[in-house]
């Protein structure tokens, strides 16, 4: 029942209001008394929140609900959560704060990390957020979230909640799901249902994370002041794989760890098939650091592994009987590729619940029923979320390689000569028909027209000539003629230096299966191939070829070639001269 104020009460309110107006200074006088730095800080905060709001995306998954996202590039790429896009299938509607709605297509998925990448279409000048270094975030830093809690953004304008960072490097165990929140940021800014997938920003409006999980009051879905965001640095590690349309997996060491009675984190079990075992780690070794981060607890190791993609090589420092040892270990995947695909398929098959009126949920769009705006942007293929974007990334890298080689590399016979660091001269010859290397220890030759796994010469290199023959073929003909080639993702330029800088220098990687071998090519931003890994035998140590370009020369031609196999360095080749000679025609019926 509404209570009516008495006449005397109304009179008292009028008198009080007049008195307050009389004693309050004018707005202009008040502003004049505020120190300039305070006004500047206020304006900076207003502008930062405005930038975050413009980059915010309201994601609508039809009758299945929706959530939030955040734009990270002018061409429309936006990050969100796996659990936000999962009900929508491969297409969805996305709204921006300017009131416009855009069609969007699913690009890549990281189901374990609860991350998805989508691409909005319709323009190439989307407002976007800058992905910053989340390792610099400290407890007590100002932060704000921009998103679509409870799907309130019916006008497409995001809700803003502010607070502080209340914890860093938090680990959230999977709870009845594969979703694992590792090394995440904990905040007291209100994160509610619908905020999932939206951006978490710092005081300058830069993206420090993507919101995904929160603790709620038991009697309802109400925020209690503890929210978690996937860190920007973890997102950066996986972004190359996601842009390549991959269904990406997280890393495992191939070993389990436990805390011993002295408080050390030690290996309690290890797979003999793992690269960690091949690099020398054994039962009861103490893990000192991983990827440059100290390991003092079991959770600290899980935290670090949870931010790394499967397939990366990272430095590991361990201690055995008081002796400090180091290795660079290739991380395995948490799941088999088919297993991960089955998990995602099972998640998508689960019913999303009835609509509020009791009707069954609307079916997800299929490729045949995609909106016209995104119909040409999806290609289903095993092992990929959207193979269409893998082709785009592969062709982008290929164009860079072609541009770097156009003015320097020509067809015919390539001859490289110089001296070995260990002493003595060498000569390498590469052509369409053969690869030959002359070393102080002897001469090796590989048939370039046959299967390259037949002779991984020279002996002890693991396949150096085969790797260089594929490298030459890539530079001259591109990935389309090389073999079954795809965009793998990104990896650190120097795995041994991972951890020296919070944000590693990442390079693109192409993956190929050709001539009975598998290979990966690391490609720098200038199009130069700086590394080759070649596997003549699967699940064994590859031949690792590292190419250092000349400082004053074209990026496609090396000044130094370093070759390693397993834990051994086969040789370092200082190149004095590279010549391109015309191929000698073979007489009819003869082969070299």
Q: Looking at the structure, do residues 358 and 430 belong to the same domain, yes or no? A: no
Active site (catalytic) residues: 83, 114, 196
Contact at 8 Å (CB) between 269 and 283?
A: yes
Contact at 8 Å (CB) between 185 and 169?
A: no
* Residue 121 confidence (pLDDT) above 50: yes
Q: What would the mean pLDDT of 354-368 be, rounded to a whole number?
A: 44
Q: Looking at the structure, do residues 238 and 304 belong to the same domain, yes or no? A: no
Q: Looking at the structure, do residues 231 and 288 belong to the same domain, yes or no? A: no
Q: How far is the C-alpha of 200 from the C-alpha of 134, rounded, in Å?
A: 11
SS3 8: helix
Q: Looking at the structure, do residues 357 and 407 belong to the same domain, yes or no? A: no
Q: Looking at the structure, do residues 495 and 463 belong to the same domain, yes or no? A: yes
CATH number at residue 451: 2.50.20
442: left (phi over 0), alpha (psi -120 to 50) or beta: left
Q: Looking at the structure, do residues 342 and 196 belong to the same domain, yes or no? A: yes
Indicate the residue among 385, 405, 422 that finishes a domain.
Answer: 385
Q: Looking at the structure, do residues 419 and 538 belong to the same domain, yes or no? A: yes
CATH number at residue 323: 2.30.42.10
Q: How far is the C-alpha of 432 from the C-alpha of 443, rounded, in Å?
A: 19
Output the pLDDT for position 187.
96
Q: Looking at the structure, do residues 196 and 292 belong to the same domain, yes or no? A: no
Establish if 10 belongs to a structural domain. Answer: no
pLDDT digits (tens, 9 = 90+) for 276-297: 999 999 999 999 999 999 999 9
Least confident of 29-38, 249-258, 423-432, 484-493: 29-38
Establish if 32 belongs to a structural domain. Answer: no
Q: Looking at the structure, do residues 376 and 443 belong to the same domain, yes or no? A: no
Q: How far is the C-alpha of 325 from the C-alpha of 239, rounded, in Å?
A: 32
Output the pLDDT for position 6.
44
Q: Looking at the structure, do residues 521 and 552 belong to the same domain, yes or no? A: yes
Token pair for residue 433?
A: 């028909």
Q: How far is the C-alpha of 394 from the C-alpha of 510, rounded, in Å?
A: 7
Q: Looking at the structure, do residues 454 and 523 belong to the same domain, yes or no? A: yes
Q: What is the pTM of this model?
A: 0.88
Establish if 103 belongs to a structural domain. Answer: yes
Establish if 29 belongs to a structural domain. Answer: no
Q: Looking at the structure, do residues 222 and 85 belong to the same domain, yes or no? A: yes
Q: CB atoms < 10 A from the CB of 494, how many?
A: 17
Tell me how many domains the chain contains. Answer: 3
Establish if 20 belongs to a structural domain. Answer: no
Domain holding 421, by residue range, is: 396-581
* Residue 349 confidence (pLDDT) above 90: no
Q: What would the mean pLDDT of 239-264 be, rounded to a whole number?
A: 95
Establish if 3 belongs to a structural domain. Answer: no
Establish if 12 belongs to a structural domain. Answer: no
Output the pLDDT for position 528.
95
Q: How far is the C-alpha of 346 from the C-alpha of 167, rounded, in Å?
A: 34
pLDDT band at 175 (very low <50, low <70, confident <90, very high): low
Establish if 197 belongs to a structural domain. Answer: yes
Output the pLDDT for position 25.
56
CATH number at residue 128: 2.40.10.120
Q: How far is the C-alpha of 68 from the C-alpha of 78, rounded, in Å?
A: 10
């Amino acid at each position: 029942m509404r209570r009516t104020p008495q006449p005397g009460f109304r009179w008292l309110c009028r008198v009080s209001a007049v008195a307050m107006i009389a004693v309050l200074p004018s707005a202009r006088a008040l502003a004049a008394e505020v120190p300039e730095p305070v006004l500047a800080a206020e304006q900076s905060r207003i502008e930062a929140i405005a930038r975050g709001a413009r980059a915010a995306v309201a994601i609508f998954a039809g009758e299945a609900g929706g959530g939030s996202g955040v734009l990270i590039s002018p061409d429309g790429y936006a990050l969100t959560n796996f659990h936000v896009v999962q009900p929508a299938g491969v297409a969805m509607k996305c709204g921006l704060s300017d009131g416009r709605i855009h069609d969007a297509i699913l690009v890549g998925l990281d189901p374990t990390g609860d991350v998805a990448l989508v691409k909005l279409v319709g323009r190439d000048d989307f407002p976007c957020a800058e992905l910053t270094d989340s390792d610099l975030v400290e407890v007590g830093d100002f932060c704000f979230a921009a998103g679509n809690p409870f799907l309130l953004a019916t006008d497409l304008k995001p809700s803003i909640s502010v607070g502080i960072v209340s914890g860093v490097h938090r680990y959230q165990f999977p709870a009845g799901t594969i979703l694992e929140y590792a090394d995440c940021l904990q905040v007291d800014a209100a994160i509610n249902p619908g905020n999932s997938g939206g951006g978490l920003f710092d005081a300058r409006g830069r993206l420090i994370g993507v919101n995904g999980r929160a603790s709620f009051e038991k009697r309802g879905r109400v925020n209690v002041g503890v929210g978690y965001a996937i860190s920007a640095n973890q997102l950066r590690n996986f972004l190359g794989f996601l842009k390549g349309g991959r269904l990406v997996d997280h890393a495992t060491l191939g070993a389990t760890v436990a805390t011993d009675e002295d408080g050390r984190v030690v290996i309690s079990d290890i797979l003999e098939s793992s690269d960690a075992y091949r690099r020398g780690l054994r039962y009861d070794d103490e893990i000192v650091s991983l990827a440059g981060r100290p390991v003092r607890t079991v959770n600290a190791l899980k935290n670090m592994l949870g931010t790394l993609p499967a397939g990366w090589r990272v430095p590991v420092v361990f201690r055995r009987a008081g002796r400090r040892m180091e290795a660079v270990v290739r991380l395995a995947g948490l799941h088999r590729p088919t297993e991960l695909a089955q998990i995602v398929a099972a998640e998508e098959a689960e019913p999303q619940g009835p609509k509020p009126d009791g009707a069954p949920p609307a079916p997800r769009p299929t490729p045949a029923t995609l909106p016209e705006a995104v119909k040409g942007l999806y290609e289903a293929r095993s092992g990929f979320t959207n193979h269409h974007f893998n082709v785009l990334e592969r062709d982008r890298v290929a164009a860079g390689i072609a541009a770097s080689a156009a003015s320097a590399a020509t067809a015919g016979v390539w001859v490289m000569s110089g001296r070995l660091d260990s002493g003595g001269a060498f000569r390498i010859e590469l052509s369409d028909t053969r690869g030959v290397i002359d070393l102080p220890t002897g001469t090796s030759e590989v048939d370039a027209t046959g299967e390259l796994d037949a002779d991984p010469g020279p002996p002890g290199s693991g396949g150096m000539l085969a790797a260089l023959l594929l490298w030459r073929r890539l530079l001259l003909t591109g990935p389309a003629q090389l073999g079954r080639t795809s965009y793998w993702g990104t990896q650190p330029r120097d795995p041994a230096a991972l951890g020296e800088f919070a944000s590693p220098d990442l390079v693109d990687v192409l993956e190929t299966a050709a001539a009975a071998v598998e290979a990966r090519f690391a490609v720098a931003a200038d199009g130069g191939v700086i590394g080759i890994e070649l596997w003549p035998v699967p699940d064994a140590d590859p031949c690792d070829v590292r190419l250092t370009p000349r400082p004053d020369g074209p990026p496609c031609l090396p000044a130094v070639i370093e070759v390693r196999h397993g834990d051994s360095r086969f040789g370092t080749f200082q190149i004095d001269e590279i010549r391109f000679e015309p191929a000698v025609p073979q007489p009819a019926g003869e082969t070299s």
